[in-house]
Structure 1
């Protein structure tokens, strides 16, 4: 893995399993677990990745990693819902590998997490880790980083 920036896609390019950005080699790393990839890749950030980087830097992290409930790349929710296999073959492995490297895990998938019961599956996979979020939506899902103020406070997900 390149220390500064990169992403892991499947051979078709339809599934992104991991994205990372680094700016300080020896500083701790934060993992954001979101819904699904949009347009960010190894070289290009999208608004969500820029927002996560802003939070990570403000909190003193030197590396950001991003995984998703669903690895299928889609910019529209209906495309994600129509995908035959939205998790992807390596989705769970990528999630667990990233969690094992993280100093802090931020759940941030917004309201779409209930699709196929994936939120429950991922919470079971991550049951051995401390989990945090930036608050909950009205549907009791971890809030997406684009929809919280820049001064949002990290909260213990299991205490919510």
Structure 2
């Protein structure tokens, strides 16, 4: 896909990625995907997960994508994330909140490790109006990479009724 803009916000040390954004000229509005943690994608290069999220957002009629994560620490494997001394990142909550406010559709997609340090539960308490694509057996929202391209968002009804 041809982008109008590609952005990413990193910590000074580059070990943390707070946001990644892509925009294109078809459609309107912004989708926020909240994953587990960033991997290799940056302001120039997409990884397979970002390509899948862009395709979902485009197919749903949106023109912009923002990706944030429960943990801003860049790691390819969950084990590396769990060994990090500060996997959340100093400014991560600020960027999640700002991205949430800029979006019209918010997709939770952190997979099976969102319970680490209680991050998923904390986020669910602070952010209403989340959607998911599919629930794992662990009752955590599935990672988007291996879902069918025709998958549609579903409103997430939390245990507290939100």
TM-score range for the pair, normalised by the shorter chain length: over 0.9
Do the aligned partners of 1:25 and 1:63 also contact (CA within 8 Å) in 2? no
Describe how 1:1-160 pairs up with structure 2 within 5 A.
Answer: 4-24=5-25, 27-127=28-128, 130-158=129-157
TM-align CA RMSD:
1.7
Do the aligned partners of 2:26 and 2:61 also contact (CA within 8 Å) in 1? no
- Whole-Å separation in 1 of the counterparts to 2:135 and 2:38: 20
TM-score after normalising by structure 1:
0.94
Q: Structure 2, unaligned stretches of length 5 or more?
A: none
TM-score after normalising by structure 2:
0.93
Across the two proteins, how many residue pairs are aligned to each other?
A: 157
Q: Structure 1, unaligned stretches of length 5 or more?
A: none
- Whole-Å separation in 2 of the counterparts to 1:23 and 1:111: 31
Q: CA deviation at 1:76?
A: 1.1
- Whole-Å separation in 2 of the counterparts to 1:24 and 1:102: 17
Query: Secondary structure of the equivalent of 1:54?
Result: helix
